[in-house]
């Protein structure tokens, strides 16, 4: 701090550029700063939610396409369907439950695990004749999809 003479023999702090400005310019700068902060606080969750929705929908669409293009047979309520028919059914359930789905795992649980009416699980039958729950098959592919997107395509 620089000291200056006020009256004979008295020292006082000298005001300089370090002194806080007051008046309309300072009020305006604080208002702009406050407004910018509020905009960031309000917009951040929306942008994160929008990105999450896009990522979720892209993942779900990938899984539906994976079902459609598969060479497995889907068994649903004791009837058998090819991949295209199974994908149509799963997509129809997805459109119905879309508002309740916030993760790919929830999508698999609500749309591709089993019948909500009969309680019977959906099964897949591989070309080699192996049967396994569709949820296990799709969760495995979801893990592969996430790894591929995290580290890039091989």
| pTM (whole model) above 0.85 | no
Task: Report whether 65 contacts 87 (CB < 8 A).
Answer: yes
Distance CA 63, CA 142 (A): 7
* DSSP one-letter code for 106: H
DSSP H or E segment with residue 12:
strand 11-13
Neighbour count for residue 98 (Cβ, 10 Å)? 14
**Residue 64 reports pLDDT greater than 90:** yes
Distance CA 7, CA 151 (A): 73
Among 43-47, 64-68, 136-140, the range scoring the smallest mean pLDDT is: 43-47
Longest dimension (CA), the chain: 105
Residue 30, pLDDT score: 62
Mean pLDDT computed over every residue of the chain: 80
Distance CA 130, CA 113 (A): 17
Domain chopping of the chain, boundaries? 56-136
Q: Which residues pair with 4 in a beta bridge?
A: 12
Distance CA 144, CA 78 (A): 29
Copy the structure tokens of residue 123: 């099964």
Half-sphere exposure of 69 (CA within 13 A, CB side): 7
Pick the more confident residue, 50 or 146.
146
Distance CA 137, CA 93 (A): 18
Copy the structure tokens of residue 96: 């119905």
Residue 46, pLDDT score: 47
Label residue 150 by pLDDT band (50, 70, 90).
confident
Q: What is the pLDDT of residues 79-123, one digit of tens each?
A: 999 999 999 999 999 999 999 999 999 999 999 999 989 999 999
Neighbour count for residue 71 (Cβ, 10 Å)? 8
């Amino acid at each position: 701090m620089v000291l200056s003479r006020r009256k004979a023999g008295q020292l006082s702090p000298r005001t300089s550029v370090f002194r806080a400005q007051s008046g309309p310019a300072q009020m305006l700068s604080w208002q702009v700063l406050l407004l910018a902060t509020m905009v960031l606080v309000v917009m951040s969750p929306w942008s994160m939610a929008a990105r999450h929705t896009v990522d979720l929908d892209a993942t779900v669409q990938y899984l539906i396409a994976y079902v459609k293009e598969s060479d497995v047979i889907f068994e649903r309520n004791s009837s058998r369907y090819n991949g295209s028919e199974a994908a149509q059914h799963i997509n129809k359930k997805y459109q119905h439950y879309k508002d309740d789905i916030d993760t790919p795992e929830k999508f698999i649980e609500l749309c591709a695990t089993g019948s909500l009416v009969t309680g019977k699980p959906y099964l897949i039958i591989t070309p080699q004749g192996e049967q396994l729950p569709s949820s296990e098959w799709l969760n495995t592919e979801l893990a592969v999809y996430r790894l591929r997107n995290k580290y890039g395509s091989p």
